[in-house]
Amino acid sequence: MRQAYSVLVGFIVALLLYLLMAVTFGIINYANIMNIGRLGYDITHYLIVAVAAFFAAKKAADKGWLVGLFLAFVLAALSLVIHWSFGEPLSAQLLRSVLTLVVGSIAGMFGVNI
């Protein structure tokens, strides 16, 4: 039960960070300060997954890799559906989903041990 609550907390943290990212990148793009490419969005996505998995694993206090992996799976599935609905090829998104799972699992391990 504690792990499920931790995953929910991590998901809420991720949603808040995605909202902050959207506002920040929107202001940057609107003001023409710089052009943020796909790599910038991907790096930010992985950082958000890592921070959310870290907080979720810290909240769970055990099985951090599993909590991080499950949270990353939820976020990767959500990202996969969103990108697929916009017409992006599924093969390109699958590699990003696998990297998301790896980042979430490693961040979960750090969250428990730090």
Lowest mean pLDDT among 24-33, 55-64, 65-74, 82-91: 24-33
- Distance between CA atoms of residues 35 and 30, nearest Å: 10
Q: Where are the domains of the chain?
A: 2-113
Instruction: Map tokens 């099985």 to a residue.
Output: 63
66 vs 39, more confident: 66
pLDDT at 3: 78
The whole-number pLDDT of residue 31 equals: 67
Tokens at 9, concatenated: 């907390």
Dist CA 24 CA 4 (whole Å):
30
**What is residue 61's three-state secondary structure?**
coil
Of 63, 51, 52, 48, the closest CA to residue 113 belongs to: 63
Query: Could you tell me what percent of the chain has a pLDDT over 90?
Result: 40
